[in-house]
Amino acid sequence: METTKYRSKMMSKIRSTGGKAEIMLGKSIWHNGIRYFRNYKRLPGNPDLAITKYKIAVFVDGEYWHGYNFDEIKTGKRVHHNRQYWLNKISYNIEHDKKINTELEQMGWTVIRFWEKHQVLKDLDYCTSTILDAVRLKKNCS
């Protein structure tokens, strides 16, 4: 049986930066000649990858923390302990992501968000080509 102390220890090991998917995506676009900053603190939301030359902000969102299939979470299929806390936290994260998208778009940035496991880790080529397409579009508009 899982204890609160054990759960706390496991949750403390989860980091917000430098995840496998973020690194894979960064290396992929780097090998395609796209230069970027990681966890760019000069922008709202600290994008995982910021392509400043073309004003493209890329976020790699963890499914649990950012509400992938949030309706399933709300109906109780995934969250069993400290339920109200997690529902509030995930709801806040979803709203915060929308706010960050709006702020960046108002600053003239293109925002691209990928799901960590369902997109980056499953189809890296798609994610890479999405970013490369956005770069091409920005180049053509300049």
Q: Which CATH class is domain 18-137?
A: alpha beta
Note the pLDDT of residue 10: 61
Note the pLDDT of residue 136: 97
- The pTM is what? 0.85
Phi/psi at 52 (5° precision): -65, -35
Note the pLDDT of residue 48: 96
- Contact between 43 and 109 under an 8 Å Cβ cutoff? The reply is yes
Q: Where are the domains of the chain?
A: 18-137
Both structure tokens of 136: 């091409």
pLDDT means over runs of 10, the chain (142 residues): 63 64 96 96 96 97 84 65 82 95 98 96 97 96 74
